[in-house]
Amino acid sequence: MSGAKPLHPGLFTWPNANPSLIGSRCLDCGEHAFPSQGSCRACSGQNTQNAELGNTGTLWTWTIQSFMPKTPYHTDETPETFRPYGVGYVELPCGLKVESRLRENTPDALRIGMPMALEIISVRKDEQGDDLVTFQFCAAEEAH
């Protein structure tokens, strides 16, 4: 995606052929966080560092969102073109659960425990005409 930039910088490695979420890890107790944080929510320590959290996980829970996202997460969709979308928590290998938009958007396509894979998607264009990209998860067998 040339002429593209992250909607929120620092959440994932990009551009990268194999993108990964970026969070933090406490060097005192080992707790992970997303997005990256300067202090640990588990032990209150200040000894954290950025860490790649990976790009796969397991669907922990989900729902279908039937209304358009609000700013700053809005898309180029209009009320006429809007389609419901999945939202879920994906449990990463480190044990952290990350909330994410899901590509799948019907109850038939989602099940708790299914393998998920990270993908980078364009959500809209900015004022300069550049694509704004973010992450979502999709069924691992459908990942691109």
Looking at domain 4-14+55-142, which CATH architecture does it have? Beta Barrel (2.40)
* pTM for this prediction: 0.87
Please tell me which residue, 70 or 114, carries the higher pLDDT value: 114
pLDDT at 139: 96
State percent of the chain over pLDDT 70.
Answer: 93
Distance of CA 47 to the CA centre of its chain: 25
Q: Does pLDDT of 72 surpass 70?
A: no
Is pLDDT above 80 for 75? no
Judged against a pLDDT cut of 60, whether residue 56 lies above it is answered with yes
pLDDT given for residue 142 in this prediction: 58
Strands (E), 7-114: 21-26, 32-33, 48-54, 56-65, 85-91, 97-102
Is the dihedral angle over the CA atoms 84, 87, 56, 5 positive or is it negative? positive
Q: Can you tell me whether residue 9 is helix, strand or coil?
A: coil
| Structure token digits, residue 47 | 């000894």
Ranges of H-type helices in the chain: none
Query: What is the average pLDDT value for the chain, to the nearest integer?
Result: 90
Residue extents of the structural domains in the chain: 4-14+55-142, 21-54
pLDDT of residue 2: 57
pLDDT band at residue 19 using 50, 70 and 90 as cut-offs: very high
